[in-house]
Amino acid sequence: MDDVLDKKLEDAVWIARTLSATGKVTGSTANMSFRHGKSIFITGTGTSFSRLCPEDFAEVSPEGDVMGPVKPSKELTLHSMLYSNDDSIQAVIHTHSFYSTLWSCLEHPDASDVIPEYTPYLKMKLGRIVLVPYGKPGSSELFAFFRDSLTETKGYLLQNHGPIVGHSDLLSAYYALEELEESARIAWHLRGEQAKRIQT
């Protein structure tokens, strides 16, 4: 028995069901992963966060081999690229959270920093939020755009699609995702207003 793995799976299920209960995900559109040992554990294709169970995770080896009967999410490549880009990232969550997705549909003058800094907490938890050009979900085009957009930050908005964040563990990724959604909500309601931003 692997108590550490069991705890990660327990946290993952709690996060998934909490995101579902609070309306941050719908249907089977979200995916989540974490690293354990040399493997990536990622939600299986077509899984619903509202009913997620530990058995719904696929285990993928460092070589990309699926170790078990569960087929991984088609967006595994996005997760893998975040892990390869930053060794400190140990968990990744991708959703279609409402305000983050709304914000990803707008035109932004600076794609490397798209969320206005009205409160200090987003950059404290994630850093700048980068907008990734649109590519069909799960497509090689999206993966290429994402690869070209990778920087030192841990948070991204996929254009007309939704947020993807990585962090040091599952709960930190969840808290950062929640902060991103709240920041996008504030930005959406203040768009066009002469609101004061933080001076950094």
Catalytic residue among 75, 178, 179, 181: 75
- Tell me how far apart the terminal alpha carbons of the chain are, to the nearest angstrom: 48
Which of 197, 68, 77 has the alpha carbon at shortest distance from 143?
Answer: 77
* pLDDT tens-digit series, residues 154-165: 999 999 999 999
* pLDDT tens-digit series, residues 96-149: 999 999 999 999 999 999 999 999 999 998 999 999 999 999 999 999 999 999
Q: Where are the alpha helices (DSSP H) in the chain?
A: 3-21, 76-85, 98-104, 121-125, 140-149, 170-190
* Overall pTM > 0.85: yes
CA–CA separation, 176 and 88 (whole Å):
15
Distances (CA, A) of 103 to 32, 44, 71, 88: 21, 27, 31, 27
CA–CA separation, 171 and 183 (whole Å):
18
Q: What is the pLDDT of residue 192?
A: 76
Is residue 59 annotated as a catalytic residue, yes or no? no
Is residue 152 annotated as a catalytic residue, yes or no? no
What is the helix, strand, coil percentage profile of the chain, to 5? 40, 20, 45
CA–CA separation, 65 and 87 (whole Å):
20
| All structural domains of the chain | 3-190 (3.40.225.10)
Model confidence at 187: pLDDT above 70: yes
Q: Tell me the one-letter amino acid at 126.
A: L
Name every residue whose Cβ is closer than 8 Å to that of residue 100 and which is 6 or more positions away in sequence: 157, 162, 163, 180, 181, 184
Model confidence at 51: pLDDT above 70: yes
Catalytic residue among 59, 117, 118, 121: 121
